[in-house]
Amino acid sequence: MALQEEFEEQGNWLFKNRSLLPLIILVVTLGYYLYSKKVGTIFLADFNADDFNYQMGCLLVGFFGLLIRIYTVGYTPEKTSGRNEKGGQLAETLNSTGIYSLVRHPLYVGNYFMWLGPALLTGNFWFIVSFTLLYWLYYEKIMFAEEQFLRGKFGDMYLNWAKTLPPFVPHFKNFKKPELSFSWRKVLKKEKNGFAAMFLIFALFDISGKFIQGQDDYNFVFIYGTVLGIVLYAILKFLTKRTSMLDEKGR
């Protein structure tokens, strides 16, 4: 099998399992975090990774990624960017305005910052660099497979759009106003788990880390945020499954 077909096959497999495989990264990150709490770790700078302000900064990094996803999904039409079906890629139209006039894969940019937040909790520079490289290797093949799909479906329209845009690092020169208005209904329907998941992950790290150290001075911002997030998720899940309040034609 030629490398092009092999990369596409691997990318499609990673895409279909993208909800499960990142959990491996989370487990590895949590494992290293707990190890560092147990035996200590080496920092490039003399600072306390348990400092409240530092932890909140890490949380803000994660929520910055979620905001990128919210902005992306909120301006896109039905059956494009978002949580596509496990069966494969979906793209009824080619997004080329809004954030898609800045970068080809804004959702994966958002995902990176969402995962970078917990990685930063380790406070170890080399672990964070390793995480970034692993993330790139993982998503590079997914992006390759996605672009092959879009190229096959939209042909020259896709090629003309893609040649002017970077895949991952936004280029702000040629921003085009989104064609659609922002849809909070679509965001609440498609991204309802992001808020709760972010707080839950940070609470898990904080509580388990303090347990390893024999401490109980937990970060209650993470705990209260988790409770609030779970309640909001349950409400939105009910509205999505049992009502049509979040439905919006074409979105």
Q: Which domains does the chain have, with CATH numbers?
A: 3-40+52-183 (1.20.120)
pLDDT at position 47: 59
Q: For the chain, what is the HEC assignment?
A: CCHHHHHHHHHHHHHHCCCCCHHHHHHHHHHHHHHHHHHCCCCCCCCCCCCHHHHHHHHHHHHHHHHHHHHHHHCCCCCCCCCCCCCCCCCCCCCCCEHHHCCCCHHHHHHHHHHHHHHHCCCCHHHHHHHHHHHHHHHHHHHHHHHHHHHHHHCHHHHHHHCCCCCCCCCHHHCECCCCCCCHHHHHHHCCCHHHHHHHHHHHHHHHHHHHHCCCCCCHHHHHHHHHHHHHHHHHHHHHHHCCCCCCCCC
* Span 119-177, pLDDT tens digits: 999 888 888 999 999 999 889 888 988 888 888 889 999 999 999 899 999 988 889 99
| pLDDT score of 241 | 93
Positions in the chain short of pLDDT 50 = none
What global pTM score does this model have? 0.90
